[in-house]
Amino acid sequence: MNKVLVIFRRELRSYFATPLAYVFIVIFLVLAAVFTFQVGGFFERGQADLQPFFRWHPWLYLVLIPAISMRLWAEERNSGSIELLMTLPITLWEAVAGKFLAAWCFAGIALMLTFPIWITVNYLGSPDNGAIVAAYVGSLLMAGGFLSIGMCLSAATRNQVVAFITAALVGFVFLLAGFPLVLDFVRGILPQAIVDAIASLSFFTHFEAISRGVIDLRDLVYFGALIGFWLAATALVLDMKKAE
C-alpha cells in the first residue's frame, strides 16, 4: 500500500479517536451559521447567493484551522512518537504529505457539512450554483493554505499552545496583507510594485476572486505554490531538528 496513504489513514482516524474532531466540527458549523445569518444578514439581503456565508471564512479559518494543525507535529514530538515515525521506512516527504492531506481532508469534511445552507439557498431562490461550487473550492484551498502554515509552525515546537498562537499570528499576517487599511499604509512609503506584491500574497485577494465564482489559474497557482512552499518549509524544519 502507498505509504502516504497509510500515514494519511492513521492521521485522519486519530482526529476522530478524540473528541477534538466533533468539537471542532460543531464549533465550525455554529460559528459559520452565526456569521451567515446574524452578522451577514443572509435573509435581510434578499439575494439568492452565499456571499454572506463565504465572506467570513477567512476569519473562521484564522481561529479554527490552527486548532487542527497545532497537533500535527507538536504532539508527536511531545509524546515521543515522532521517533517511531521517523525510524519507520518512509521518507520525510511521505510523512509530511500524509499528515497534511489528512488534516486537509478533515477540514474538507467540516466544510462539506455546511451543505444545508446550500440546500436552503436553493430552496429559497435560484442561485448561481457554479459560483457556489467555485467558492467552496476557493474556501478549501484557503483552508489548505492556513493548514500548511500551521503545520510548519507545529513542526517547530513541542508545545501545542505555541503552535496554535504562532499559526494564528502568521495566518493573520497573510490575511491582512490584502486589506485596504494595510495597503493604503504601505502605499505611502513603498513603491507600487511592492504594494502589489504584498497584496498578491494575501489570502483575501485570491479568495475574494474565487468566491465571486471566477476560478482563475493564477489563484489556483497561488494557493498551490503557497501550500508547496509551507510543506517544503515543514520538511526543512523537521530535517533541521533532526540534526540538533
x/- letters, 203..242, toward other proteins (CB under 8 A)? ---------------------------------------x
Q: How far apart are CA 221 and CA 78, in angstroms?
A: 35
Check binding of 22 to other proteins (CB under 8 A): no
Check binding of 46 to other proteins (CB under 8 A): no
* Cα→Cα distances 186→97, 198, 206, Å: 36, 9, 19
Q: Which of 23, 30, 84, 173 binds other proteins (CB under 8 A)?
A: 84
The sign of the dihedral angle between the CA atoms of 137, 139, 145, 151 is negative
Q: How far apart are CA 6 and CA 228, in angstroms?
A: 21
Check binding of 1 to other proteins (CB under 8 A): yes
Check binding of 88 to other proteins (CB under 8 A): yes
In the chain, how many H helices and how many E strands? 15, 0
Closer of 86 and 209 to other proteins (Cβ): 86
What number of other Cβ atoms are within 10 A of residue 213's Cβ?
Answer: 16
Check binding of 38 to other proteins (CB under 8 A): no
Closer of 1 and 119 to other proteins (Cβ): 1
Closer of 1 and 189 to other proteins (Cβ): 1
3-state secondary structure 122-158: HHHCCCCHHHHHHHHHHHHHHHHHHHHHHHHHHHCCC
Check binding of 13 to other proteins (CB under 8 A): yes
Check binding of 83 to other proteins (CB under 8 A): yes
Tell me if 211 sits within 8 A of 135, measured CB to CB. yes
Chain residues binding other proteins by CB under 8 A are 1, 3, 6-7, 10, 13-14, 17-18, 79-81, 83-84, 86-91, 242-244
